[in-house]
Structure 1
Amino acid sequence: MKPSNAIQERVFEFLNQYPPFNLIQEEKLRQLAAQVRVLYLEPEQVLFTQNDSAHAYFYVVRQGSVRLEHTADVEKPRLLDVCDEGDVFGVRALLAKKPYSSTATASEESLVYAIPIATFEPVLNTNAEVALYFAAGFAAGGTAQRQPTMHDTNKARIGLRTQVGHTQSPSLDEVVKVGTAKELTYCTQGTSIRLAAQIMSDKNSSFIVVVDAQQHPIGIITDTDLRKQVVAGPVAIQDPVEQIMSKPVVTIAPEPTMADALIAMIRNKVKHLCITQDGTINSKATRVLTEHDLLLAQGNNPAVLIAEIRQTKSVDSLPGIRDRAEELLQKYLEQEVNIAFVANIITEINDAIIVRALQHAEAIVGEPPLRYCWLSIGSEGREEQLLRTDQDNALVFENRHAAEEKEAQTYFTKLATIVNDVLVNCGLEKCPANMMASNPQWCQPLHVWEQYFYNWIHEPTEEALLHSSIFFDYRPVYGDYSLSRKLTDYIYQHIQKEKIFLPYLAKHALQSPPPLSFFRNFIVERGGEHKDEFDIKLRAMTPLIDAARVLTLDNRIAEENNTFKRFERLAKLEPQNAELYKEAAMAYEIMMRFRALSGLRNQNSGRYLNPNQLNKLERQALRNTFKPISDIQELLQVRFQLSYLG
């Protein structure tokens, strides 16, 4: 029985909100919606069992939640994921035509849409974006993910979702599928290094294959090659790609097993395998399998950590999970995974821990008396806290009469104290300056926060500018996000009214000079505990953070806190400065990587680097990231006419 037009329309409207369905043409999606079956599941009803033959459908949660568990041990099933509204599961039936690798059980009363595979397969075969979503998944760098909706007001951000089959480690004889659906990034012989680098950037790829006229692979260039031989080496960017490409290319046949791929990489000491039609260099290149793909395929999937955080019954287990996240960070950095992706992953894990801590705190102190929103500020607010540095947070709650607000503040400071303590146990130390929600000064109703920002904007004293540099980077993590949006609207209204604020904020951003001396030596600390060490945070990263913030406010770019994403947005809005902003974004990402590696190596915040411990290549690469700082600071000087401020 086909659904009525009304039901079909509701199915269409729902699917159109979520990937990969929002990547499908409207007419085709309506045709698909007409074939969808609506299933009602009672609590604890099993939809399919591990090792069951694949159904003729895969599934989307319409309402409720479905948990996926590995049930080899019936008495101790292992949770893999919890799927809720908009999440896709049961895709092994679609992709691999294999028995299910997990058991799907309704955690509560649930409505599930069953998508017929026979109807969906033509879409999968003709729509590259949809194919990439399913084949690569979020953890392999795909961009399709569920975005927060109005229904997420009281939930953490939920970007990290994965499909069945991507949450378990495959055996060594299983075919490696991850990453092989990506379009090949390639160029021909004689292409300039500049153009090859531009192709890599446009394709968001860390490598490019050099091919001959028959598209046979003859060489490969990676980000590492560009850094070593061009950025910090003698090769000019106008030279042909043959000058820096690695050759010969190590090739492998399509659909290699995990064991074959690992052995080929280890034996040849490479991190990229070129998949060709017959597995040799004498046939057409089709895909590239990376060490990153193998890392992810072996079960290093952050979605598993997220699921464990959400489902843990005791916050005592959170520190151990956060330790595993640090191990994941280490592996990602070793594999040179894109730093923006790494930052997103660690942010999602940190956010999940915060949300779980808040739920724990609410269970202790009772239901919140008023609507509230937990805000991450500082580096966590910018989604840049890779290492476990100190925590910075705040809390805003809704306006009421004074007595009610006072009572609510008492409740929320108790709540925040519990949360801050949980985060300390997870390795995130308390802020030395007490910039935390447990401090009543930073746990206030909306109107008080508006007054704070009013004072900072209209009376930009040095203290006000310091507070602005911290609190302007707030990001809502849990609660009623509308409170955060109201605060943002208020801020932009008053920045428009008080024209002098941004020039003063720009002047504040120039307090740290470019980090090289006249003789191109690193400006190091002259005394104290860190004598002769380089403060990468204060002298290199902060100038770019502050500049990006000012320019973002000037362009009225709301709700974008991440520094390199801010520069990417600015590059689109100001084409005349696009090259500078792109260089600044790249420089900041490199600095983040330097700091994270230093912190992991020395078991500290990574803030202070010893230049003498860096090799020549590392020193040169780091020096090259400093050039955009002086250029950005010069742009601020001219744009905001800072010479007139005195």
Structure 2
Amino acid sequence: MNAIASRIADFLKVHLPFSNLTFDELTQIATNIRVINLEKDQSLFQINDKLHDSFYVVASGVINLSIVSDAEETLLNKCVEGEIFGLRPFFAKNNYMMTAKAREESIIYAIPIETFKPFVAQNTEVLNFLLESFASTNYSSNDSNGKLISDTVIFSNSKSETQYFQSLTYNKFPLTTAITSIIKETAQLMTENNSDFVLVTDKNYPIGIVTDSDMRSKIATARFPMTLTIDKIMSSPVIAVTENVSLAEAQLLLLQYSVSHLCVTVDGTDKSEVKGIITEHDLIIAQASNPGVLIKEIKRSQEPKDLRKVRLKLAELIQTSLDKNIPLSHVMNVAGEINTAILKRAVEIATIELGSAPARFAWFSIGSQGRKEQLLLTDQDSFLIFEDVAEANYRDVKDYFIKLSKKIVSILEQVGYAPCSYGYNASNMFWCKSLTDWIKQYDTWMNTPGENSDNISGIFFDYELVIGESKIEEAISNLVMKNTQKNGLFFDYLGNDALRKPAPLSFFKKFNLEDEGIYKDKFDLKNRAIMPLVDAARLFTLSNHIKGINNTYLRFKQLAISNPANSEVFLACAEAFLVLNKIRTVEGLKNDNDGQYITIENLSKVDKEKLKNALNPMKELEDLIKDSFQLTQFS
């Protein structure tokens, strides 16, 4: 036995998914493994690199997985000893979507895909591990061995991979024939129907399948005479699935059984009636389609009701994604892009109705929409900035934009987004004004916070340009960055504001429930759990002069890079934010509400534990805020 291969097999056997294989199997794999030595800061692959023929295991050292957007590097995860990454070649044909770079000197094992495929096909545990891993941000066994990091994270400019977990469209009227059919007649039937397969059935139960490949390899070579019945050359049994099988599941089933067709049946077995057939071509078509289809529908929309239909489809997509256990960061990203497209189209429709704008302007979404975190049909928050105009024209120009904003808010209300209960909408004259007025507004908020009744609202620092002049956004962003320099008073205000949220747990680690009102005995998931994370992420992002990242999850990820000393706290907060929002989204969809108030008793034991664990980083985060900022004046 090769001594090196033996040592590698010894290493692999204690890590998932390799612990599901025998030592002999691991040795076979190990003999084909390449050992790669990476220097500090050396990349194994980068964004848009062509896919490698291998996936990777960290033998020693640390590998950072990251993306670069607008010159900012965002850390997605760190892979340490025993962790697997670079699984993309198993599932996708397009290039890498992230960079894998050594944080320190590292040794990597490269496992050829072709070498590993047979073990995927033969071992259900390995198969499931790969499938689950592709569908989740990370996977850990109970003893923390074998954490697997997904490299399928998507961002706004990337092709959505939520598609891999959506149910497939399939042929509901497949060509069928009886088991008593003659081969020659079946061949003629396939030719007449221009079909490359025929499903063999008995009382509409699937018995077998015959493909063009069977005809070529068994009939054209004269191995079987054409006068025999079709059962002599059919492949049997068929591989049956339910109609909600996902693209990723279908891909792995084709790989596992080395087939090119899956039979859709009533209960997913060959003991029930046929509902259709999924072919390799269907998988190719499915990979070419994604939530971009909804974006196209949005662009074609002419009325609010058209946009409402798309928003309802988005709700279905979110529900399906959660059912398929797709990482919430993916779901949030896709939903954010679709929500923004709806907002943009609403502005366009309103502008068409009202007539051309008298000046250039920019429409901004703020709050959860501005952070691209809106998964449920919660309210709309917005503001509008128009370019500076001559004083004589100011009133008329502002009147136009107030009317325009009211139309936009009305359209979005018809779509399902209620106006903000606090009045944070561009239809409010306070939040629809010229660039100079907005510069004065931000200057006042940031340089003299708390001095007047118009107190700052943090959500105005979570803005996203929906449509309009990018130079207007740039002017505001530059002003905000300038005003964060040596501005202790501003961060004193924001820091204290972040700490004012009601505590989620009591001294005895019990959930603090509402003690009066219509939500009595319910837990305020938004204000007690989610908003403290949102506020803290905003606070630290601004104080670290990080520009262009609004999403709370990505803010914490970026903060982990910018502040290595506190990276563990920030990464824990990033994960907690996803857990809390998933619970809120699931509860909101189930109860057809915004998911803010939940009944703890209705949660499963597992979800209660997840919720409590997600609250654990809160104390460390609170201490970090107190240590990082001199919170005195507004305490």
Report the secondary structure of 1:399's partner residue.
coil
- The answer to whether the Cα contact below 8 Å between 2:556 and 2:574 also exists between their aligned partners in 1 is yes
Asked whether 1:340 is paired with 2:329, we answer yes
Correspondence for 2:462: 473
Report the secondary structure of 1:375's partner residue.
strand
Q: 2:385 aligns with which of 388, 396, 403?
A: 396
Amino acid at match of 2:240: I
Matches within 5 A, 1:190-209: none
Asked whether 1:179 is paired with 2:98, we answer no
Correspondence for 2:256: 279
Deviation at 1:548, TM superposition (A): 0.4
Report the secondary structure of 1:488's partner residue.
helix
Report the secondary structure of 2:91's partner residue.
coil
Unaligned runs of 5+ in 1: 1-125, 134-142, 149-176, 185-198, 200-208, 243-255, 282-292
Q: 1:420 aligns with which of 406, 409, 416?
A: 409
Amino acid at match of 2:91: G
Matches within 5 A, 1:498-537: 498-537=487-526
Correspondence for 1:636: 625
TM-score by length of 2: 0.60
Whichever of the two has the greater Rg, that structure is 2
The CA deviation string for residues 303-356 of structure 1, in whole angstroms up to 9 with x for no partner, is: 111101102233432212211111111111111112122112112222222221
Q: 1:608 aligns with which of 591, 597, 603?
A: 597
Amino acid at match of 1:623: K
**Change in 2 beyond 3 A, CA 1:278/1:431:** closer
- Fraction of identical pairs, as percent: 32
Amino acid at match of 1:567: F
Instruction: Work out the CA distance in 1 between the residues paired with 2:284 and 2:629.
Output: 47
Please identify, of 396-405 and 258-267, the stretch whose mean Cα deviation from structure 2 is larger.
Answer: 258-267
Matches within 5 A, 1:350-369: 350-369=339-358
- The answer to whether the Cα contact below 8 Å between 1:210 and 1:217 also exists between their aligned partners in 2 is no
Instruction: Work out the CA distance in 2 between the residues paired with 1:473 and 1:579.
Output: 24
**Change in 2 beyond 3 A, CA 1:626/1:227:** farther
Correspondence for 1:307: 296
Asked whether 1:430 is paired with 2:407, we answer no
Q: 2:555 aligns with which of 555, 560, 566?
A: 566
Q: 1:375 aligns with which of 364, 367, 382?
A: 364
Asked whether 1:578 is paired with 2:567, we answer yes
Deviation at 1:401, TM superposition (A): 2.5
Matches within 5 A, 1:2-81: none
- The answer to whether the Cα contact below 8 Å between 1:456 and 1:464 also exists between their aligned partners in 2 is no
Instruction: Work out the CA distance in 2 between the residues paired with 1:342 and 1:267.
Output: 18
- The answer to whether the Cα contact below 8 Å between 1:258 and 1:294 also exists between their aligned partners in 2 is no
Instruction: Work out the CA distance in 2 between the residues paired with 1:591 and 1:548.
Output: 15
Correspondence for 1:349: 338
Matches within 5 A, 1:258-337: 263-264=240-241, 272=249, 275=252, 279=256, 297=286, 301-337=290-326
Deviation at 1:302, TM superposition (A): 1.5
**Change in 2 beyond 3 A, CA 1:304/1:144:** farther
Instruction: Work out the CA distance in 2 between the residues paired with 1:332 and 1:278.
Output: 23
Correspondence for 1:80: none
Correspondence for 2:204: none
Matches within 5 A, 1:92-103: none
Instruction: Work out the CA distance in 1 between the residues paired with 2:146 and 2:46.
Output: 34
**Change in 2 beyond 3 A, CA 1:360/1:274:** closer
Report the secondary structure of 2:457's partner residue.
helix
- The answer to whether the Cα contact below 8 Å between 1:371 and 1:480 also exists between their aligned partners in 2 is yes
- The answer to whether the Cα contact below 8 Å between 1:637 and 1:643 also exists between their aligned partners in 2 is no
Amino acid at match of 2:423: N
Instruction: Work out the CA distance in 2 between the residues paired with 1:270 and 1:360.
Output: 36
Matches within 5 A, 1:134-149: none
Provide the aligned C-alpha RMSD in A.
Answer: 4.3
Instruction: Work out the CA distance in 1 between the residues paired with 2:320 and 2:244.
Output: 20
Correspondence for 2:264: none
Aligned residues: 433
TM-score by length of 1: 0.59
Instruction: Work out the CA distance in 2 between the residues paired with 1:498 and 1:618.
Output: 41
Instruction: Work out the CA distance in 2 between the residues paired with 1:440 and 1:264.
Output: 57
Correspondence for 1:34: none
Please identify, of 304-313 and 369-378, the stretch whose mean Cα deviation from structure 2 is larger.
Answer: 304-313
Asked whether 1:625 is paired with 2:601, we answer no
- The answer to whether the Cα contact below 8 Å between 1:514 and 1:630 also exists between their aligned partners in 2 is no
Amino acid at match of 1:179: F
**Change in 2 beyond 3 A, CA 1:642/1:303:** same
**Change in 2 beyond 3 A, CA 1:306/1:236:** same
Amino acid at match of 2:256: G
Amino acid at match of 1:421: S
Amino acid at match of 1:504: Y
Instruction: Work out the CA distance in 2 between the residues paired with 1:226 and 1:371.
Output: 43
The CA deviation string for residues 402-422 of structure 1, in whole angstroms up to 9 with x for no partner, is: 232221110001111111111
Unaligned runs of 5+ in 2: 1-44, 53-65, 71-88, 97-107, 109-115, 149-167, 172-208, 210-237, 259-281
- The answer to whether the Cα contact below 8 Å between 1:565 and 1:585 also exists between their aligned partners in 2 is yes
**Change in 2 beyond 3 A, CA 1:211/1:295:** closer
Instruction: Work out the CA distance in 1 between the residues paired with 2:419 and 2:369.
Output: 13
Correspondence for 1:590: 579
Instruction: Work out the CA distance in 1 between the residues paired with 2:548 and 2:580.
Output: 23
Correspondence for 1:557: 546
Instruction: Work out the CA distance in 2 between the residues paired with 1:144 and 1:581.
Output: 18
Q: 1:484 aligns with which of 454, 462, 473?
A: 473
Report the secondary structure of 1:500's partner residue.
helix
